[in-house]
Amino acid sequence: MKSYSEWQALSETLSFQGQAYINGEFQSAASGETFPCINPSTEKVLTDIASCDEADVNAAVANSREVFKSGVWSEMHPRQRKQIMLKWADLIEQHKDEFALLDTLDMGKSINEMVNIDVPDAIDCFRWTAECIDKVYGEIAPTGTDTLALISHNPVGVVGAITPWNYPLLMVSWKIAPAIAAGNSVVLKPSEKASLSALRLAELAVEAGIPKGVLNVLPGYGHTAGKALALHMDVNVLAFTGSTRVAGMLMGYAGQSNMKRVWLEAGGKSPNLVFADCDIKKAAAGTANAIFANQGEVCIACSRLYVEKSIKEEFMAALMEEAKRFQTGDPLDPATTMGPMVDGMQLETVERYIRSAVEEGGNIVTGGLPEYTDGQGFFARPTIIDNANNDMTFVKEEIFGPVLAVCDFETEDEAIELANDSQYGLGAAVWTENLSRAHRVSGKIESGMVWVNTWGEGDTTVPFGGVKASGNGRDKSLHALEKYTDIKNVLIRL
């Protein structure tokens, strides 16, 4: 790992590209409009970003469609597509420090997390998905001997992808790697709060040999570029990661336009169940990670803690110790464990929820309201609020910041009921040394993912996604490829 001063020096040498990337060329938005890209730890402008809108979406989708129809990528031999995607992954690896810096400067994530999680996981996603291209088979249906029914998985055409800012490189990778591997063309709209790594990724795609127009990137606001993409009549599939509020809007846009398939990876308010028969030290460490990692700006953040009453005192003492590991600082410093919130609006959201928690009877046991100084970054404090219950606003709603609600329970059934009492169903953590309880509880929890005696661990081979208001799609694993292919059945009478 490079030192703080080495990362600082390297960041000075970076150049930022904020223009749209269409058909292999960087270009201004058709309107010529831009908006500033701000480093949230210094509040300084890094560069200007093209503010794309409907005109740019129309141009990009038309180009993507033309490239798809030409077959230059969609009909390329799978082995050749695989080789090119592997080269793309190699190029990302060759530029791994640059990618780490781009997201850290753009949205405030610690460089440590970028180097150890986001960048290697993104590279792995590209490599693993590329390796699948020439290993996925079709089927022959078990019809009678006088017919032959061939079932094949085919690219859908043009995929629109809309992504958030909290894991800019990784969330983009989880969408575009399988979509492109399957032979589609993609028009990507990254978050207006973190567009830089997506634009660089697109440039490297062309350098690796992916034909121009297979990946077009349109930075811009949700209500302009995002909405136009979601309403576009020539987009076949929409793949989204972001809030539940916007996810619902996208379903509406699809219905109002061409009934495009919409895959949603949306918000969460994940529960963390700590049973008396757990390893308290490990559970406390995991609980702190589950709410303070990435400043709590994590969809799977376990922001609702339910701890068994009989160990609550001992567990809380251990948790307070673990919380001390999380200290805010310059995210370029590898020692920093918590960077700033992505922007002033997100900091205000955190502040608003802490106020509402106290008004509704919560008791702050560490952290509290942010101490903001103008021009010195949007830093929140790791905050734990005890005396919480499921009726309180800050326990029901996603905060997307480092604020943990502490509730307790007495029986296993009560713990499960409290955990499931949420509109969301993304992830859940269960801490117990009792194997039967681990299976029983994880089976009954209403979520797409459950971690037992750990939190947030995954692998490219493992699907990622939720149920209920947390969405309907799965990123990663072979299941991700299903989102970007249509099934075709050709029946031949012999």
Residue nearest to ligand NAD (CB): 222
- Report if residue 425 touches ligand NAD, rule: CB under 6 A: no
As a whole number of Å, the CA-based R_g of the chain is 23
- Report if residue 165 touches ligand NAD, rule: CB under 6 A: yes
Read off φ and ψ for residue 486, nearest 5 degrees: -105, 150
- Report if residue 235 touches ligand NAD, rule: CB under 6 A: no
Q: Are 306 and 273 in contact (CB under 8 A)?
A: yes
Strands (E), 32-95: 34-38, 45-50
- Contacting ligand NAD within 285-304 (CB under 6 A): 299
Among 181, 246, 341, 395, binds ligand NAD (CB under 6 A): 246
Please state, in angstroms and rounded to a whole number, the distance separating the CA atoms of residues 202 and 23: 10
Instruction: Provide, rounded to whole angstroms, the least separation between the CB of residue 484 and ligand NAD.
Output: 16
- Report if residue 197 touches ligand NAD, rule: CB under 6 A: no
Q: Which is nearer to ligand NAD, 24 or 168 (CB)?
A: 168
Contact mark string toward ligand NAD, 370..409, x via CB under 6 A: ----------------------------x-x---------
- Report if residue 474 touches ligand NAD, rule: CB under 6 A: no
Phi-psi region of 57 (alpha: psi -120 to 50; beta: other; left: phi over 0): alpha
Residue range at the interface with ligand NAD (CB under 6 A); choices 5-13, 33-41, 108-116, 156-164: 156-164
- Among 265, 308, 351, 398, the one annotated catalytic: 265
- Report if residue 223 touches ligand NAD, rule: CB under 6 A: yes
Please state, in angstroms and rounded to a whole number, the distance separating the CA atoms of residues 427 and 418: 14
Q: Are 465 and 265 in contact (CB under 8 A)?
A: yes
Instruction: Provide, rounded to whole angstroms, the least separation between the CB of residue 325 and ligand NAD.
Output: 23
- Report if residue 191 touches ligand NAD, rule: CB under 6 A: yes
Matching residue, tokens 């088979």: 137
- Report if residue 243 touches ligand NAD, rule: CB under 6 A: yes
- Contacting ligand NAD within 306-345 (CB under 6 A): none
Q: Which is nearer to ligand NAD, 266 or 319 (CB)?
A: 266
- Contacting ligand NAD within 70-89 (CB under 6 A): none
- Report if residue 450 touches ligand NAD, rule: CB under 6 A: no
Sign of the Cα pseudo-torsion (406, 407, 408, 414, in order): negative
- Report if residue 49 touches ligand NAD, rule: CB under 6 A: no
H or E element in which residue 448 lies? none
Residue range at the interface with ligand NAD (CB under 6 A); choices 49-57, 143-151, 238-246, 361-369: 238-246
Q: Which is nearer to ligand NAD, 52 or 92 (CB)?
A: 52
- Report if residue 222 touches ligand NAD, rule: CB under 6 A: yes
Would you call 47 exposed, middle or buried from its count of C-beta atoms within 10 A (0-12, 13-18, 19+)? Answer: middle
- Report if residue 166 touches ligand NAD, rule: CB under 6 A: yes
Instruction: Provide, rounded to whole angstroms, the least separation between the CB of residue 177 and ligand NAD.
Output: 15
Among 157, 168, 211, 471, binds ligand NAD (CB under 6 A): 471
Q: Which residues contact 166 (CB under 8 A, 6 or more apart)?
A: 107, 109, 294, 297, 298, 299, 342, 400
Instruction: Provide, rounded to whole angstroms, the least separation between the CB of residue 468 and ligand NAD.
Output: 12
Among 97, 192, 308, 351, binds ligand NAD (CB under 6 A): 192
- Report if residue 232 touches ligand NAD, rule: CB under 6 A: no
Please state, in angstroms and rounded to a whole number, the distance separating the CA atoms of residues 483 and 475: 9
Q: Is 265 a catalytic residue?
A: yes
Please state, in angstroms and rounded to a whole number, the distance separating the CA atoms of residues 7 and 102: 11
Q: Which residues contact 272 (CB under 8 A, 6 or more apart)?
A: 287, 290, 302, 304, 305, 306, 428, 429, 431, 455
Among 230, 316, 404, 481, binds ligand NAD (CB under 6 A): 230
Among 242, 331, 362, 382, binds ligand NAD (CB under 6 A): 242
Please state, in angstroms and rounded to a whole number, the distance separating the CA atoms of residues 481 and 459: 16
Output the six-digit token pair for 372. 């903001």
Single-letter code of the amino acid located at 289: N
Q: Which is nearer to ligand NAD, 178 or 222 (CB)?
A: 222
Using CA atoms, how far residue 392 sits from 53, 290, 357, 371, in Å, is 39, 20, 7, 24
Burial 464-484 (b: 16+ CB within 10 A, else e): bbbebbbbbbbbbbeebbbbb
Q: Which residues bind ligand NAD (CB under 6 A)?
A: 162-166, 171, 189, 191-192, 221-223, 226-227, 230, 241-243, 246, 249, 265-268, 299, 398, 400, 426, 466, 470-471
* Catalytic site positions: 265
